[in-house]
Structure 1
Amino acid sequence: MNWAERSRQAVWHPCTQMKGHELAPPRAIVAADGPWLIDDQGHRILDAVSSWWVNLFGHNFAPIREAITDQLQRVDHIMLAGLTHPPVVELSERLAALTGLGHAFYASDGASATEIALKMSAHSWRNLGRPGKHRFIGLQGGYHGETVGALSVTDIPLFRESYAPLLRLSATLPSPDPRQAAPGVSAEQHLQHCIDALAAWLAQHHAETAAIILEPLVQGAAGMAMHDPAYLVAVRRLCDQYQVHWIADEIAVGFGRTGTLFAHQQAVGDDGQPVRPDFICLSKGLTGGVLPLSAVLTTDAVYQAFWDDRVAHGFLHSHSYTGNPLACRAALAVLDTFAARDAQGRDVLARNREAAERFNALVQPLNRHPRVRAHRHLGMIWAWDIDTQDPGFAARYHRAALQAGLLLRPIGHTLYVMPPYVLTEADQRHLADGLLAVLNLVLGDEPGAPPQTAQPADGLRMA
């Protein structure tokens, strides 16, 4: 029995209808190097989605590997209750210096970070004598994880409907995604409509609202929905006005994905300084995609709300692997990599800007494709909305892309790439050619489509 079949018999894969693996078994990956995955048949697959948006500098990245190896010879893991260790202290200090928020609380994944921020917000208001402030606001199309608390502020119908009896649903306000604008309404008008909707809700419900949670600039699970930084400026102003916390979910968009180290830093207030949330949730790229780790950072004011002799006023949340030393060393190696400069004096973000310019030129044929209804780009994220009525488009594209040596997972009818930051120009060309060739192949094979033969673009290696 091969690895794929053994996995199908023993492993319950995430967000997967397992019956589908009868016809499309999972690929067994036995090695990885840089942006490439190697399966058990020796096929090379370009990891164009960074293994669910986590991988920053390619697989088997030496600085992270060496940091973990060194730490493994010192302390592998200790409980963080009543104890501490150098990596978690140094990581917390450096994250505070980068964000202006401190008091890092650690967990293992993004959904746990969301749970922590929600609980911390509501509990802080309770400790301050305002127990009525325990409701939350999310945005249309927002995604913040799949635990019960995180799902309560997530607006993905498939998830919310499946587990609705378990959830305490938040208010859901309009997303500033300009694709959601009504006919004849400009992007600027739609943005103002969303700001006005938030202002109206807070005017009426601020006394019961603990926080608003949102993904700054890019709503990933909504099909890489991108919005203007001006919305974040308005969120900060309104949260200050109505005494409501702003939770910035930077889990997917942090660490350079949007072109700045953190996405919210692109929103500049009237004072000329980037606006600052009350909470920042981090995960995914925090360790470069190597080990599970998440963090929640917050303000001195929130931290002080828990400072008390009474245990019940402490933050009552824990994880066995909180602040794992190995994961913290991986995260420190990530921060070191962002701080370093190459021989040309460029840091990671500067090199990413150059890489993005090259890739933008390479995907121009895809941008002009007659079935592409909208394309967009921010930092190291690209997305294309495809004109198709086929409900199976995403699955068919995913399977065809694997055959073409590409790991791509469309969201509904949105094709996107969020690659590691280490693609060479040849890798980028392979990806750009493959995106287009696979799209032609899949669209030509749609139910009811006229017969056509779509050949791989030059240089596309079929696996």
Structure 2
Amino acid sequence: MQDNQNLHDRDLAVLWHPCTQMKDHETLPLVPIRRGDGVWLEDFEGKRYLDAVSSWWVNIFGHVNPRINAAVKAQLDTLEHVILAGFSHEPAVRLAERLVDITPPGLSRCFYADNGSAAVEVALKMSFHYWRNLGQSGKTRFICLSNSYHGETLGALSVGDVSLYKETYAPLLMESIVVPGPDCYAREPGESCADVARRQFAHMEAALSRHAHETCAVIVEPLIQCAGSMRMYDPEYLRLLRAACDRQGVHLIADEIAVGFGRTGTLFACEQAGISPDFMCLSKGLTAGYLPLAAVMTHDRIYQAFYDDYERMTAFLHSHSYTGNPLACSAALATLDIFESDDVIARNRELATHMGQAVAHLKDHPHVAEIRQTGMVLAIEMVADKARRVPYPWQERRGLRVYQHALTRGALLRPLGNVVYFMPPYVITPDQIDFLATVATEGIDLATRD
């Protein structure tokens, strides 16, 4: 009979885990999971963990959701997969139709990929190739924000700026233009987040003026730089950026992989700025965490630049074996059905308000510099010196202490460095939010003791 220790030992004999220093597991045991149920994960000994991070931000409607289960099971009896080059199938077409309907105006074409990083690669290549097809072969560069993150593949790493992930591979990467971002954490006394956005946009304006002739696109994560310690900024920056990209003849890529599908208080973060990007990258919550799938939405002007006789060699010859997988598309369609029938966005706003109230007491904690929140994403930043906002040295791994404490209490909290965050499934209850707030408070108290 399977148990925690048996699976733990078998795992360490053969598996290499993502984003992990495997030597840590000499002293930090793995957590084997037997089953999921709603917000809960359960190990082989019956201990449950509240999934406060949506299993890396993907699970938005709970584990083993009966409606999504039913959709995937029904599809499994009909068609599991078919090549999408020269062939088609109902789930892929229907999902594309619905994504065109719900994404910002003008995004009328859907290109499928397998995961978030792949979606970013598609958008980068498509933007470059568009300009090449128009005879502007000098456009070969991309602009990104400081502290940004867009994935782990080489192109996606090239347009990010989190050194933890990027520095090792720098010799392999193309050189992007990195512009100081609009992070509201850096605001001056009396300055609003909108003020910061306007002030910091001067850097982007200057970069576009200087480099537009060689730039394909600007890529941003709208409103929240998730892997960049959940730093947040005002929608005003997106409004300014859209106008500047239009003036300078540069594409705008919105990486909504983590912030899309209700995370920020609207279905898509770009809605809060009232803008439509040239490319919108979607993944994670698209299938509610069930199966790998990504989509790049773009508009017809981009599509038409590739539409020509084959001999002219303008086609976009990018592909993935599992492009538009019917099982994944069916999970995505069931996910969109839940959004449509359950008034998810309105309920999320109520839950977000409760989440902010549940941790409000931490504003006075001597080692909490800031509590920031955008919709269903809340972050608590621990610091060594609150008055001067001096961070703890990363080598002290204070966030790991919070993680370890949370496991003993039955919660999965996985801080980003010194930032403790909540990004739970939308089926969480107010009482469960209160539980997370209690566990996080205890963890922060333990982690900040000298």
Q: Please tell me the TM-score bracket, short chain as reference.
A: over 0.9
Aligned-partner SS, 1:251 = coil
In 1, the alpha carbon distance for the partners of 2:200 and 2:422 equals 27
Q: In the alignment, does 2:76 pair up with 1:109?
A: no
Letter in 2 for 1:284: K
**Judging changes above 3 Å, is the alpha-carbon distance between structure 1 residues 305 and 260 closer, same or farther for their aligned structure 2 residues?**
same
Q: In the alignment, does 2:369 pair up with 1:365?
A: no
C-alpha displacement of 1:17: 0.7
**Aligned 8 A contact 1:8 1:25 in 2:** no
Alignment partner, residue 170 of structure 2:
164
Q: What does 1:403-418 correspond to in 2, within 5 Å? A: 403-418=408-423
Q: In the alignment, does 2:321 pair up with 1:320?
A: yes
Alignment partner, residue 377 of structure 1:
373
Q: In the alignment, does 2:12 pair up with 1:12?
A: no
Deviations 1:174-229 (A, max 9, x none): 11012234789764553223211111111111110000000000010111111110
- The one of 262, 266, 269 equivalent to 1:260 is 266
Alignment partner, residue 296 of structure 2:
296
Deviations 1:56-90 (A, max 9, x none): 01000111100000000100100101100000000
In 2, the alpha carbon distance for the partners of 1:169 and 1:417 equals 33
Q: In the alignment, does 2:218 pair up with 1:218?
A: no
Q: In the alignment, does 2:406 pair up with 1:401?
A: yes
Q: In the alignment, does 2:136 pair up with 1:135?
A: no
In 1, the alpha carbon distance for the partners of 2:9 and 2:178 equals 42
Q: In the alignment, does 2:62 pair up with 1:58?
A: yes
C-alpha displacement of 1:316: 1.3
C-alpha displacement of 1:390: 4.7
Deviations 1:427-450 (A, max 9, x none): 112111111112112223xxxx2x
Aligned-partner SS, 2:353 = helix
TM-score, length basis structure 1: 0.91
In 1, the alpha carbon distance for the partners of 2:192 and 2:114 equals 41
Deviations 1:394-414 (A, max 9, x none): 222212211111111111111
Q: In the alignment, does 2:152 pair up with 1:146?
A: yes
Alignment partner, residue 422 of structure 1:
427
In 2, the alpha carbon distance for the partners of 1:142 and 1:72 equals 38
**Judging changes above 3 Å, is the alpha-carbon distance between structure 1 residues 147 and 89 closer, same or farther for their aligned structure 2 residues?**
same
**Aligned 8 A contact 1:366 1:435 in 2:** no
Aligned-partner SS, 1:385 = strand
Consecutive unaligned residues in structure 1, runs of 5 or more: 268-273, 342-346, 450-463
Count of residue pairs brought into register by the alignment? 434
C-alpha displacement of 1:372: 0.9
Q: Percent identity of the aligned residues?
A: 51
Letter in 2 for 1:397: V
Letter in 2 for 1:196: A
Alignment partner, residue 383 of structure 2:
387
**Aligned 8 A contact 2:223 2:235 in 1:** yes
Alignment partner, residue 389 of structure 2:
none
**Aligned 8 A contact 2:116 2:283 in 1:** yes
In 2, the alpha carbon distance for the partners of 1:42 and 1:296 equals 40
**Aligned 8 A contact 1:173 1:194 in 2:** no
**Aligned 8 A contact 2:194 2:236 in 1:** no
Aligned-partner SS, 2:144 = strand
In 2, the alpha carbon distance for the partners of 1:434 and 1:169 equals 42
Aligned-partner SS, 2:448 = helix
In 2, the alpha carbon distance for the partners of 1:339 and 1:351 equals 13
- The one of 236, 239, 242 equivalent to 1:236 is 242
What is the RMSD computed on CA atoms of the aligned residues? 1.4
TM-score, length basis structure 2: 0.94
C-alpha displacement of 1:359: 2.2
Consecutive unaligned residues in structure 2, runs of 5 or more: 385-391
**Aligned 8 A contact 1:87 1:328 in 2:** yes
Q: In the alignment, does 2:208 pair up with 1:207?
A: no
Letter in 1 for 2:279: F
Alignment partner, residue 339 of structure 2:
338
Letter in 2 for 1:439: I
Q: What does 1:345-360 correspond to in 2, within 5 Å? A: 347-360=343-356
